[in-house]
Amino acid sequence: MALFLYKPHVAGPEGNITTPDIVIDRLFVDGKVKPLGGLTIELAHEVDGDQSPRAGYAITALGGGALISPALCLGDTVAVARSAWRVNNLDGHIGAVSLNGTPLSEVGLPSQVIEAAGGSSDTLPRGYMLICQSGFSDNRAELLDNAKNRSLIHRLFLSDVNADRWGESRPKPRYSVGPTQKEIPHFI
């Protein structure tokens, strides 16, 4: 019964923003089902060694038409942006939309990704999120809509899993102090 609650900000063509909350219960990456546990909106991630994210985009099923959002895949982690457009707002000028400078026609058109998952046009089975990865590695995924002069940017902040942010200054264990300023050795 796993699920992921996705809370995107959907920018319309006139600049208005809607904020649906969407329950995702089926995740596909390049057509293969993946565990929902790898799906996240967190921006900061740890990497081991030379791992680097691959830029892509996410298509999310939604009642008023599927959404498209920038996404980055890092190993088994799928980091999806909280910003999105409606796929149907790109109708008629999808050729002017690019991912990190590469036209979506080369990366994979949303319509093709949707149809491959059993959807049609801009509709998808309820609860689906589809990830289309590109071939390029980048910490940043940018969807650029040249026709409407707008973009969606998703950027990850990576740190070495072996690096301790506190270093030698990591605080020593201490018990909390109660409101009366008396040491409270145990209060649970």
Q: Which residues bind another protein (CB under 8 A)?
A: 7, 9, 15-19, 21, 41-44, 81-83, 154-155, 157, 165-166, 169, 171, 176-181, 184, 187
CA dihedral 160, 163, 165, 166 (to 10 degrees): 170
Please name the residues in contact with 72: beta carbons below 8 A apart, sequence gap of 6 or more: 53, 54, 55, 56, 78, 79, 138, 139, 140, 141, 154, 156
CA dihedral 60, 63, 64, 70 (to 10 degrees): -10
Q: Based on CB atoms, which residue is closest to another protein, 41 or 116?
A: 41
Q: In angstroms, what is the minimal distance from the CB of 94 to another protein?
A: 25
Q: Based on CB atoms, which residue is closest to another protein, 120 or 149?
A: 149
Q: In angstroms, what is the minimal distance from the CB of 27 to another protein?
A: 19
Q: Based on CB atoms, which residue is closest to another protein, 48 or 166?
A: 166
Q: In angstroms, what is the minimal distance from the CB of 9 to another protein?
A: 5
Is the distance from CB of 51 to CB of 74 less than 8 angstroms? yes
Q: Based on CB atoms, which residue is closest to another protein, 149 or 180?
A: 180
